[in-house]
Amino acid sequence: MLKEKVYRTMIELTNNKITSKMLQHIMTSRISKSFIPSYKQFYRIDITEVSKELDEFPTLQTFFTRKLMTEARPIASNEIVSPVDAKIESFGNITVQQKFRVKGKNYSLQDLLGKEEHAKRYEEGQFIVFYLSPADYHRIHSPLDATVLRQYVLGNHSYPVNQLGLTYGKQPLSHNYRLVTELSATCGNAAFIKVGAMFVNSIKLTNTTEQWTKGEEVGYFEFGSTVIMLFEKDCVTFLNNVQRNASIRVGEAFADVL
């Protein structure tokens, strides 16, 4: 399709270090503080749950990575809860060929995870994709009680992972800059993948220990993006609230252990 080709070309021409640095400079500059009220109004952000007053944020980037009041995100008693505020972009089964399908495209687990030995573990398992919009809270929380087996970074660039990017982009999930965390829990292993946003590859960890506790903060996106979770075969079952385009918040249950 011509539209798809033009879109890919535009993104590849603008996805470079210069535009990345420009965006970071603008977002972190003191002058960006003046953009916060209009940003909050445009995206209809609820500031009653934010831990600071609006004028206490020195830059737009600090508002983007804002913390919330502790009671703003209660953690469900279920074993598996949402790690982010997001929209459920896609979910389903992973085929025997180690692929899953998002927006009509097949994604290879080996490309996503980097090694066949890691990918094979999730063959015939399940996946779920959480998309964070610019309006969302961008702190990342642990989805379950688990031990970190390994963490590693893959990919050099980031392509858009919004609806347009997923539809017209060229494999944005499996080729974007991403931080992969493999977790060991009572239900088996789970892959917890943070995908970098367009232009900037900025994912920060706030918990660098080997133990994660369900609901605790483990990191944040400096410029937002997507989270993918993979589960081993016969590990979990999704709850009824897991529907395409459904909104979900940190701490809300989305799956039960089998």
Catalytic residues: 85, 141, 225
What is d(CA 235, CA 247) in angstroms, rounded to the nearest whole number? 23
The structure tokens listed for 77 are 């008693």
Three-state helix/strand/coil letters over 164-224: HHHHHCCCHHHHCCEEEEEEEECCEEEEEEEECCCCCCCEEECCCCCEECCCCEEEEECCC
φ, ψ for residue 23 (rounded to 5)?
-65, -45
User: What SS3 class is residue 92?
Assistant: strand
Place of tokens 């392509």: 159
What is d(CA 195, CA 227) in angstroms, rounded to the nearest whole number? 6
φ, ψ for residue 247 (rounded to 5)?
-85, 145
**Cβ-based neighbour number of residue 255 at 10 Å:** 26
The partner residues of 90 in beta bridges, in order of sequence, read 129
The partner residues of 150 in beta bridges, in order of sequence, read 182
